[in-house]
Structure 1
Amino acid sequence: MLMRTDPFREFDRLAQHLMGSGTWSRPAPMPMDAYREDDTYVVAFDLPGVSPEAIEIDVDRNMLTVKAERRPTAEGEKVQLDVSERTLGVFSRRLALADTLDAENITADYDAGVLTLRIPITERAKPRRIAIRGSASDKQLSS
């Protein structure tokens, strides 16, 4: 059996349980990072302890929705839970995608508890040079 020595640990656990546990009707948020890498927009979500089968990724028009559910790992009649500090339940995040992102070609990878989405940037949004035609000396001024 594990012994707790922090007198405030139970208060922290209770607050986290009340604030952090999510349900399908009211999911808890999940931490994420988002950044641009060359011609791709990358979004990484922290989902430790979530099986890939418990993750849903949907795109509806320009709205990206990621939902995941962390279920208890130890269940059954013979299981005696001594400490339960990991947040269980449903997690969700909705992101509005700009028109400059190619929502048709999103790829998803899940490794070491991190879900990584790679969203290509459309050709029209990529930086480009504009060629200048002619020059001011080629034109005649009329008076």
Structure 2
Amino acid sequence: MAMTFDPFSELDRVAASLLQPHSGPRVMPVDLYRDADRYVLNADLPGVDPGSVDVDVDGQLLTIRAQRTAGSVSGAKWLAQERPAGSYLRQFSIGEGVDTAGISASYDNGVLSVIVPVSERAKPRKIHVQNQASNDQDQKTLAS
């Protein structure tokens, strides 16, 4: 598998963000699937300024960073403020079977989509199987 997912580190990350909601990176829920010759990662980043979104690859590590700024209303007395502001961070280990040069990303309606193409050498291919009995028969016919 070219992209790996560690459920235990993911549980630690979510638990830490729930227990300490005002420190560290915010939760960035993602969907990740393979569609033919590419992996598709969709990350929810509601209210994030597209200019703050950063996607980079360093070796076999794909990193997504984003920043959501708090709304500011001067002179307001807040009755509820449940929409968290702060930084978002997710990292994914990617295998050697992906084309890191071909990775692309787009941001639309609060969803970041990252397309990770599978490299040519990692794509399934059909291997022709030669029939040795047919080859031996052909050799005998040529020798006669």
CA distance in 1, matches of 2:61, 2:82: 32
CA distance in 2, matches of 1:79, 1:18: 28
CA distance in 1, matches of 2:25, 2:103: 23
- Select the structure that is richer in helix: 2
CA distance in 2, matches of 1:81, 1:58: 37
Q: CA deviation at 1:105?
A: 1.1
Give the number of equivalent residue pairs. Answer: 122
Aligned match for 2:91, one of 85, 88, 94: 94
Q: Residues 76 and 28 of structure 1: is their aligned pair in 2 closer, same or farther, counting only changes over 3 Å? A: closer
Mapped contact 1:30–1:91 kept (Cα < 8 A): yes
CA distance in 2, matches of 1:110, 1:19: 28
- State the match for 2:141 in structure 1: none
> RMSD between aligned alpha carbons?
2.2
Q: Deviations over 1:60-79 (max 9, x none)?
A: 11101101111112x15333
Q: Taking structure 1 as the reference length, what is the TM-score of the superposition?
A: 0.75
Q: Is 1:47 aligned to residue 45 of structure 2? A: yes
- Matched residue SS, 1:138: helix
- Matched residue SS, 1:59: strand
- Matched residue SS, 1:124: helix
Q: CA deviation at 1:31?
A: 0.6
- Matched residue SS, 1:139: helix
**Which stretches in structure 1 are left out of the alignment for 5+ residues?**
1-15
CA distance in 1, matches of 2:52, 2:33: 25
Mapped contact 2:70–2:84 kept (Cα < 8 A): no
Q: Taking structure 2 as the reference length, what is the TM-score of the superposition?
A: 0.75
Task: Give the 5 Å matches for 1:1-143.
Answer: 19-22=20-23, 26-73=24-71, 75-139=72-136
Q: Residues 130 and 58 of structure 1: is their aligned pair in 2 closer, same or farther, counting only changes over 3 Å? A: same
- Matched residue SS, 1:20: coil
| Moved >2 Å (runs of 4+) | 16-22, 76-82, 133-140
Residue type of the alignment partner of 1:112: N
- Matched residue SS, 2:32: strand
CA distance in 2, matches of 1:114, 1:21: 23
Q: CA deviation at 1:137?
A: 4.2
Q: CA deviation at 1:120?
A: 0.6
Q: Deviations over 1:74-100 (max 9, x none)?
A: x15333322101121111100011111
